[in-house]
Amino acid sequence: MSRQIGMHSLAVAAGVPLFALLAASPAQAHVKWFAPYIVGASPAPIGNTLTNLWFWAAIGLVLIFFIVTRAIERGPVGQSILVGMDRVSDPLWNRLDDFIRVVIGAFFVAVFAVGGVYLTPDLQTPAEWVSWLQLLIAFGVFSRKTMPLSAAGIILLWALALRDYDFFHLLDYLALGVAVAAYLVLAASRNEDWRKHRFEVLRWGVAIALMWSSLEKFAYPDWFYPLVQEKPFLTFGMPRDVFIPMAGVAEFTMGFGLLWTPLVRRLSAVALFIIFNAAVYPFGRIDLVGHALIMAIIVAIAADHTRELHFVPKLKQSLHSVPAGLAIALVLFVGSYWGLHRAFYGPDGAPQEVAERATHSYNPESPHGPMGSGEIGDRPASDIHVAKDGGADTTDLSQGPAAAAYEATMTTMHGPMIEGMRHPDPDVAFMLGMIPHHQGAIDMARVQLQFGADAETRSFAKHVIAEQETEIRQMEAWLARRGVRRASFGSPQEPD
């Protein structure tokens, strides 16, 4: 868009932060979709970030961008830039409601087609009826009469996810979900005083979602290490511990920029659009589907012709308010993130069973868990049965409780694994054998977490659980697509 406007001043205003933004761009893909994570684990002390030189360097670059842009915006050149952007985006602005509703509908059709998720790739569910609810939501966005029903359906999906995921985990998705639902309600309203705020609600939702999720890069930088190792080109040659905090600053500050004055927010939207598009190719369709709503709203913000400021307008109009506003936003969000995490999980993080529920895994006590209630592979290590007098689970209890539990995990694994590998289809046999194999690794890791004390080993065990559970769900989805279901752990059943 800036190239189409062809104004030198716009290039000056946008050029300052490009190092911080574009160098960090591909890492904006939501790390929870592609790497192991433990939401309940204690976040890194905020002091680690506040003493990081690269964090402050990135903050300085973005502040220069905001201040220069705001200074240009106050003069005739800034107004000319806004008029030029209006001309370029006129066709979209005139049909913006249609654009937003089509994208919302397409998003829910896409997640319906993917199946097995609530709202995003890491919020998974085996409940088939959830997908049909998503399809109804998609159909409902095209009529004023049914748009409020679709809005209610979006909130319901978020609430349903609470059965399987921890509330703190779901805060990542609350702002955006509420914003899209509020847009549908306001867009359907006959009251123009309410309706005029529909795009502003979307802007706030995306801004809050970006600022909140960006804090993961400071709280849990280790979540990003597997991605950096697997895709080293993401850092553009920058050291890992330089790149990650700068990427976090880029995401947070551009989210903050969406709430500022018209030129700042529109240029921030253009930068974010570049960032999110740069993530699509290396991370594929999952990233595109998962970020579709955010990307569409960012496009709408870039095309928004309105000049009105409804929230602290006088504060936003002065140059010195830019660093003050950013500082307030940082304090508010950082305090909320670390404070709420401590309130939910305590100063030392979650107990293990809570931490496991807050990761990729479903609630093991839920009847709609990944393997069904009461199956062997779904039990924590402390519940693995160790027979005292023969039977399948013969274990020498004189070895000690840890050794007995480790041996029990192997006994539990071998039978289903061998049974699964007997399937006549070699591809199906591989999947049916690997699932109990992975579950055995998970059970071993849980034994380590129950009895072990070494911090490094415990950390590795947590990663094993997250990684193996992710792969189990991928294999189960593969089997489901081919009509193979397991009546019990590792036991194949052909479709009726």
pLDDT in tens, 453-462: 787 788 788 8
Question: What is the predicted pLDDT for the residue at 284?
Answer: 66
CB neighbour list of residue 214: distance below 8 Å, 6 or more residues apart: 248, 249, 251, 252, 255
Residues of the chain with pLDDT under 50: 1-27, 351-398, 487-496
pTM passes above 0.75? no
The ranges assigned to domains in the chain are: 2-351, 370-493
pLDDT for the residue 402: 75
